[in-house]
Structure 1
């Protein structure tokens, strides 16, 4: 876990558990590169910035969903995302990709709510 202010005023620290689950802290030193986040620019495209009728390659669609190409192909072959073939290559419309993302986000939201509810019932939260 990163601590922006640092618990002892020495700056940020990163705490991690080793394979033996022993705490280990890394402190930045003079060799640490510090990048100002306020100047950072987003990388890639957000799915919402792509025209609905755009046709994407399988690689582009996988990148937008942040999944592997083989995982995306599985979704296509299972019928979870609509596509058509052009010369043997799969093409996915942005609208079908966004629809899948909307359904998947909703499924994840319901699962998270169910886990939260279960944790509350068990007195864990």
Structure 2
């Protein structure tokens, strides 16, 4: 059974939060408190709770606690945070920024079919979920390639029989 809640206006859009300079000490104190709570949570296998103005406590789900901790740490470090619902559509420039690549490189990936996109009018739109899926598959491919290179390097070392060749390989590794 799915439950629907009325979301505030604009809640399905990206929202950026920047730390206010006059609140920095308060944010740092809160970040330290969250770390202390995390230590207690792991030691006691308990959950943090949110207390309303009437004093009623409600447990905070672990996932929300982790998000709160991450957001607080970023704000305490003076960084801004952007909250983006996974189903949101982005422009190609926003998508490129998210992946940390240039817009032309992103467009090549879109046209090659590596990342799904929509083109409702003249401009392409990319869903955040599709970017995350691409990012995860790219990382998995990169890890597999690194493992293969490591295996090939081990195989090459195993085939070296001349001690002089082995010494040269060791010197190359040291560089």
CA distance in 2, matches of 1:117, 1:41: 42
Tell me the alpha carbon deviations over residues 3-52 of structure 1, each in whole angstroms, 9 at most, x when there is no partner.
Answer: xxxxxxxxxxxxxxxxxxxxxxxxxxxxxxxxxxxx6444675xxx5322
Higher helix share: 2
- 1:119 correspondence with 2:163: no
What TM-score, normalized to structure 1? Answer: 0.59
Alignment of 1:1-125 (within 5 A): 40-42=77-79, 50-123=84-157
What is the alpha-carbon distance in structure 1 between the residues aligned to residue 81 and residue 149 of structure 2?
32
TM-score, scaled to structure 2 = 0.43
Compute the displacement of 1:116 (Å).
Answer: 1.2
State how far apart, in whole Å, the 2-side matches of 1:79 and 1:92 are: 12
Cα-to-partner distance string for 1:36-70 (whole Å, 9 max, x where unaligned): xxx6444675xxx5322011110011011111111
How many corresponding residue pairs? Answer: 84
Q: Greater strand percent: which structure?
A: 1
CA distance 1:43–1:111, shift in 2 (3 Å): farther
Post-superposition Cα deviations, 1:66-101, rounded to whole Å, max 9, x if no partner, equal 111111000101111111113311100011111111
Relative contact order higher in (CA < 8 Å, ≥ 6 apart): 2
**Aligned mates of 2:120, 2:80 — CA distance in 1:** 28
